[in-house]
Amino acid sequence: MRYRTLGRTGIRVSPYGLGGLMLATAMGNTPEQSAGLIHRALDAGINLIDTSDAYGDSEEVIGAALHGRRDDVVLATKFGRPAGDDPNRRGTSRRWIVTAVENSLRRLRTDRIDLYQIHYPDPATDVEETLSALTDLIRDGKVRAIGASHTPVSDIVEAQWVAERRGLARFHTEQPVYSILNRGIERELLPVVQRFGMGTLVWGPLGQGLLTGRVRGAGGDLRRAGMLRHLGDERRIDVAAELLPLAAEAGLPMTHLAMAFAIAHPGVTSALIGVRTARHLDDLIAGLDVRLTDDVLDRIDAIVPPGTDVGTLDQALVPPALTVPGLRRRPAVARAAA
C-alpha cells in the first residue's frame, strides 16, 4: 500500500478510504456484516474510514467494529446536517459543534476523532466562530484535524484567510465529488486546495454506479431499470458507455479504470468507496495498484474534457445564491427607484 500524506497534517492515509454511508443498517447489512467489511478493508491496508453523524447508525456500527483496532484507523466523521427538528441541532455554530462532537465520540466509542469535517457550508454562521470552536476541540485533544466538504472555492479561500488572520486552526481537508463524469473541481477547487496544502478526500469516484461497467449504451441495464430519473442526465449514461471500450483495450475492469483515474490527480489524497458486499470490496481492492498510462488519460480527456461535468449530479450542493431568490433580486422598492 502506498500511503499518502493528508495535506500538511503528517497523517498518512491509504489512497482508498472506506465510506461509512453503506455501513449503516438502513442500507441493508447487519452490524456484523458491516464489521466484516471494515475488518476486510483494514486487513487489506485501507486505514481511512469516513462517516457522518447523518448516516443513520453508521457511527455506532463503526465504533463497535473498531473495538481493539481503533489505533489502526484514521477515523473521520462529519457534522452539520439537521439532527431533528430543533433549528439549533444543525449547522456550524459553536453551540452545536460542542454538542455534536460529544455525540459522535460516544457513538464511535473513542476519545478522539482524527478528522472532523463540516458536512455542508452553513451561511448563517460566521466562519470565524466555526473555526474558533474547532480550534478549541483540537486544543482539547478531541479532534486531531479539521476539514470541510461541498465548499465553494471562495469560501475555502476566506476560511484560510480568517484562520491566518485570527490565529486559528485552518481547514486541513476538503471533500468534493470527483469522477470521470464529474471533473469540475479540476478547474478551480483542486488548484486552490493544492496551493493551501490541503488534502482532498473525493466521493463518488464510480459516478454513483454509472462507472461500474453495467452501462451498455442504448437498451442497457440501467436504462431498462428506469435509472434516468435518479442519475439526472442521459448524456451521463452515454459517456459511461463510451468509456467501456477504452477500459477493455487497457485490459481493465471499468471499476479499476474509474478508481485509478480518481486517485491519479496530484491534488487528490484519497477516494472514498461505498461497498455493501465483500465481493464489491474485493473487486475494488484488486485495483489498488493500477496506474493509468498517459495515453489512457489522454483518451479519457478526449471523452470528458478536463474541468467539465457531464450532466447534473443530483446530490450536488446548489449554493444559496442560486436557491434563495432574495439573494439574487433587489428589493421591489429598490428596483422601482432604479
Structural domains in the chain, CATH included, are 4-310 (3.20.20.100)
Cβ(144)–Cβ(112) below 8 Å: yes
Cβ(176)–Cβ(121) below 8 Å: no
Q: How many residues does the structure list for the chain?
A: 338
Cβ(281)–Cβ(37) below 8 Å: yes
pLDDT in tens, the chain (338 residues): 899 999 999 999 999 999 999 999 999 999 999 999 999 999 999 999 999 999 999 999 999 999 999 999 999 999 999 998 999 999 999 999 999 999 999 999 999 999 999 999 999 999 999 999 999 999 999 999 999 999 999 999 999 999 999 999 999 999 999 999 999 999 999 999 999 999 999 999 999 899 998 765 544 555 545 555 455 578 899 999 999 999 999 999 999 999 999 999 999 999 999 999 999 999 999 999 999 999 999 999 999 999 999 987 666 677 777 777 877 888 866 555 55
Known active-site residue 55: yes
What lies within 8 Å, CB to CB, of 61 at 6+ separation is: 23, 24, 25, 31, 34, 35
Q: Facing residues of 270 across strands? A: 201
Q: What is the largest CA-CA distance in the chain?
A: 69
Given 16, 55, 120, 178, the catalytic residue: 55
What lies within 8 Å, CB to CB, of 246 at 6+ separation is: 257, 296, 299, 300, 303
What lies within 8 Å, CB to CB, of 66 at 6+ separation is: 38, 49, 73, 75, 108, 109, 110
Distance CA 129, CA 134 (A): 9
Q: Name the residue among 43, 130, 127, 61 with its Cα closest to residue 95.
A: 130
Cβ(150)–Cβ(317) below 8 Å: yes
